[in-house]
Amino acid sequence: MSKELLTMSAQALKAAYQTGALSPVEVCNTLLDHVERHDDALNAWCLIDRDTTLNWAREAEQRYQNGTANGLLEGVPVAVKDVFLTPMWPTLKGSKTIDPASTLEKRSPAVAALERHGYVPLGKTTTPEFGWKGITDSPLCGPTNNPWDPSKTAGGSSGGSAAAVSAGMAPMALGTDAGGSIRIPAGFCGIVGHKPTFSEVPHWPASPFGTLAHAGPMTRSVADAALMMTVMSEADARDSLAAPRRGIDYVAALQQPIKGLRIALSTTLGYADVNPEIEKATREAARVFESLGATVSEVDPGFSNPLAAFSHLFYSGAANAMRDLGERQRSLMDPALVEVAAKAEKLSMLDYLGAMNERMAVSERMAVFHTKYDLLITPCLPIEAFDTNREVPVDWPSTRWPTWTPFTYPFNLTGQPALSVPLGLSSNGLPMALQIVGARFDDARVLAAGHAFEQAQPFAHLPPMLDELLKGA
């Protein structure tokens, strides 16, 4: 039974807790043992504190025994990306420049919501410094590797969370996404990752990347992502930009029908180069939606590549994150981060406002697009995972990560919900992923479509390291 725990969903764990078939302490011990034995190959975790985790697990177990367990995540272990404030553990964001003590006794809204619902914090997962890039390595923690092939990157910036969930070390994890940082590693690692509509999930303190930044769930199933969304979208007064709370039960909303939906298919967004295998798999996904009763039309949204505008805004956010750091502190940092921030510091106010103008134009284009199409489906990524500890693949024509993520950052500019779900494996045995995009605040429909696709085309594969373990190899 202990090995089976490594692939159980959060909802299955809760059901087993309620009947007494499993206990939170047993589950957490099993997961922590798995981390201890296998994380050296991945480096998904930057902090494990068994005593603290087991204390939380015992408290959850006691609530079940007392009949007082009523949280949606009671006793469920969750991995926490090390950009979220946790009161008992420091939040270092992959950086040597942060005073650990300054971050204690504080809770991010997502952490506070999880705590209200009885979660068990399993540990903190790795991130590139300040979450600035689409791979995960940092001066503090080093590179995070992909469970499907540890010589490949897990993606980023939520790479530690994705690797942990993919490798069976946690059933669910917190991630953040300012340019693809949930969807990129979810796609590379073969799990589900949802970037919610901006302001649907409260965020505090305000991200240095401004309104590009979103917090969201990373799980092995869309149903578990919906469960996390129900929790994470609860109100938190500290986020002055949060939308009014709608109290959506995202799990119940998974049952809304797909039949009759108008879905747009774009394999390139009109400008991206895509691996032929990934393009083929995306077209096959469109046929799955047609078989479910949706009407699929191949059409591009009609905007040109907004990379320049995104880069101005995103790298300005990186410079903003470093605004109070002196030369000595910067000497301890990722040199590439220091480089892009230095370039962004030279941008003028008109450069920034020009990027905002393009951002608004793309947002308006997509708002009108969704009056005709309920959903847009695209590849999540145009390439497979590449060699670890590199910002771009070998012989790539650019040195910066957004050039290989053309499908993710546009929807940070627009603030729309975007879900990454596994498509299958490439001929190299690496995960491919589909992106499902909806109109702003239509997260429920996006998740329902992802759930329907997942049920129609299950992703039945496991990373080799986990598959061999479960088979007793």
Query: Which of the residues 23, 95, 108, 157 is marked catalytic?
Result: 157
Task: Establish whether 398 is a catalytic residue.
Answer: no
Secondary structure letter of residue 45 according to DSSP = E
Task: Establish whether 426 is a catalytic residue.
Answer: no
Q: Give the tokens for residue 210.
A: 């401004």
Task: Say how many residues make up the chain.
Answer: 473
Query: Which of the residues 81, 93, 124, 195 is marked catalytic?
Result: 81
Query: Which of the residues 23, 95, 161, 181 is marked catalytic?
Result: 181
Q: Give the tokens for residue 136.
A: 């995960």
**How far is residue 60's CA from residue 64's CA, in Å, rounded to a whole number?**
7
Any long-range contacts for 53-60 (C-beta under 8 Å, 24+ apart)? 53/28, 53/77, 53/120, 53/121, 53/122, 53/123, 54/25, 54/28, 54/29, 56/119, 56/120, 56/121, 57/23, 57/24, 57/25, 57/27, 57/28, 57/120, 58/24, 58/25, 60/17, 60/24, 60/118, 60/120
**Which residue shows structure tokens 């047993």?**
26
3-state secondary structure of 429: coil
Torsion angle of the four alpha carbons 226, 231, 232, 235, in this order, in degrees rounded to the nearest 10: 130
Task: Establish whether 181 is a catalytic residue.
Answer: yes
For 460, list phi and psi in degrees, rounded to 5.
-95, 10
Q: Give the tokens for residue 355.
A: 């990027």
- Give me the helix-helix angle, 335-344 and 307-321, nearest 10°: 110
Which sequence positions are flagged as catalytic?
A: 81, 157, 181
